Amino acid sequence: MSVQETQPPAMSGLRIGDTAPDFEARSTTGPVKLSAFRKRWLILFSHPADFTPVCTTEFVELSRRADDFAARDCALMALSVDSLFSHFAWLRLIRDRFDVEVRFPIVEDPTLVIGRAFGMVAAGDYDSATVRTTYFIDPKGVIRAMTCYPANVGRSIPEMLRTLDALQRVDAEGALAPANWTPGDALLRAPSHDLDDVYAAENGADWFYRDVPAKAPR
């Protein structure tokens, strides 16, 4: 397993706008290389441990919604410190108990080298029990959004899809997604940077707050 850091100092954690550090590792679907996922969106997410209840619900729900991520040209990739064989055993139990096959790759990171490069765990941490981190990585390999949840609260899969929809739509429209935006809602125009627009606006707020007409939902 190896990590090529592109943006020091990776140990302190990555930020929105950083290029995701490339890595190669073993996974449940064979060897993976992060940069091989470019040209598509990728959601890379860590989970605290295999064989834990909240993580199990996340994997079941993500697998049930796998087609929805694929429809958005977005791959999923999970990561934890557990070994490849632990991942296999857990996936087999998930299939037997929930009748769901997890088909996206789950990476093993037993030395935390990837988790540290991404800032999922702090430099001095010796276990990963605190991390439930999610990175939304765009087709150029740039981190566009990230979330961090505690071990005892599971992520919302609808919110992951909504965030992905919002990122893809603001890119396509050169616009902004307001609070609570969901597909079908209006986006907002980026505010003008030109004082003439400020004075020319018919309504006092128009220069910084205006809808882009909504498009039909997908």
| Known catalytic residue at 148 | no
Is 54 among the residues that bind ligand BEZ (CB under 6 A)? yes
Is 53 among the residues that bind ligand BEZ (CB under 6 A)? yes
* Complete edge-to-edge strand list for the sheet that includes strand 2-4: 2-4, 22-25, 32-33
Q: Which of 152, 158, 172, 178 binds ligand BEZ (CB under 6 A)?
A: 152
Is 55 among the residues that bind ligand BEZ (CB under 6 A)? yes
Residue 40 to residues 109, 125, 161, 181, Cα–Cα distance (Å): 23, 32, 15, 23
- DSSP H or E run through 44: strand 41-46
Q: Which of 52, 83, 86, 147 binds ligand BEZ (CB under 6 A)?
A: 52
Residue whose CB is less far from ligand BEZ, 93 or 214: 93
Q: What are the residues whose beta carbons fall under 8 Å from the beta carbon of 85, sequence distance 6 or more?
A: none
Is 151 among the residues that bind ligand BEZ (CB under 6 A)? yes
Q: Which of 34, 44, 55, 137 is catalytic?
A: 55
> What long-range pairs does 171-175 form, CB within 8 A, spacing at least 24?
171/138, 173/212, 175/212
User: How far apart are alpha carbons 133 and 78 in whole angstroms?
Assistant: 10
Near ligand BEZ by CB under 6 A, which window of 52-60, 69-77, 162-170, 190-198? Answer: 52-60
Near ligand BEZ by CB under 6 A, which window of 6-14, 46-54, 62-70, 191-199? Answer: 46-54
Torsion angle (degrees, nearest 10) of CA 165, 167, 170, 171: -110
Query: Shortest Cβ distance from residue 47 to ligand BEZ (Å)?
Result: 7
Q: Which residues bind ligand BEZ (CB under 6 A)?
A: 48-49, 52-55, 129, 151-152
Residues with a known catalytic role:
55
